[in-house]
Amino acid sequence: MSLEARPALGEIHRTAVVVVECQEGVLGESSVLPALAGPAETLVGPLSGLLAAARAAGVAVVHATYAGPLGGSGAGTAPLWKALGPLTDGWADDHPGTRVLPELLGEGDLVLPRHHGLNPAKGTELLPVLQGKGIDTIVLTGVSVNLALPLIAGEATEEDFHVVVPRDAVAGTPKEYADLALRHTLGMLATLTTVDALMAHWDAP
């Protein structure tokens, strides 16, 4: 079953690009997830171009980052947390690992850090802030297709957002699984497209 044929890419003035966890501690040299950072290298170039086009078109750019548990416990029971908890317990808003990759951060971008959970849209400011800006379409980018992106897409669709996912601006591990997850999971929650198609849509008269 596939919903890829749905064509809507959203109205420019009601669209935001949400960049998920494209930060030094996830995709940079100090990554706590090196198995993900490798495959994700291919998304940085296309995503950088997409963000430049978004800013030029007046599309909002929002970075959803993880900034550590602030001395509390954000781990929950997931095996992933048990692995990452010891590596991120010392993170705070000013920790190098929380910084957005410099090639993806632009003037006027909004950075919304969270301090708990695996889902950047659950119990955080992300969706309320977008709603307050009159946004109804989210272009979802970043990492990862394994977990965070499906969680956000599900949460957002239940809040009546339309979600668009450019295949070449997201990543997961291993690549073979990421391709299947895009088609069979995110494809049921979002409109799948490409960076070039979005840029052409935003550049259309």
Which residues have C-beta within 8 Å of that of residue 159, sequence separation ≥ 6? Answer: 127, 131
Q: Other CB atoms closer than 10 Å to residue 29's CB: what's the count?
A: 9
Rounded CA separation 118/48 (Å)? 24
Which parts of the chain have pLDDT scores under 50? 1-7
Residue type, 8: A
pLDDT value of position 99: 96
Contact between 16 and 130 (Cβ < 8 Å): yes
pLDDT value of position 2: 43
Query: Domains in the chain and their CATH numbers?
Result: 13-203 (3.40.50.850)
pLDDT value of position 190: 97
pLDDT value of position 26: 95
pLDDT value of position 5: 41
pLDDT value of position 75: 56
pLDDT value of position 72: 61
pLDDT value of position 167: 97
Backbone angles phi, psi at 163, to 5 degrees: -110, 135
pTM above 0.85, yes or no: yes
Residue type, 72: G
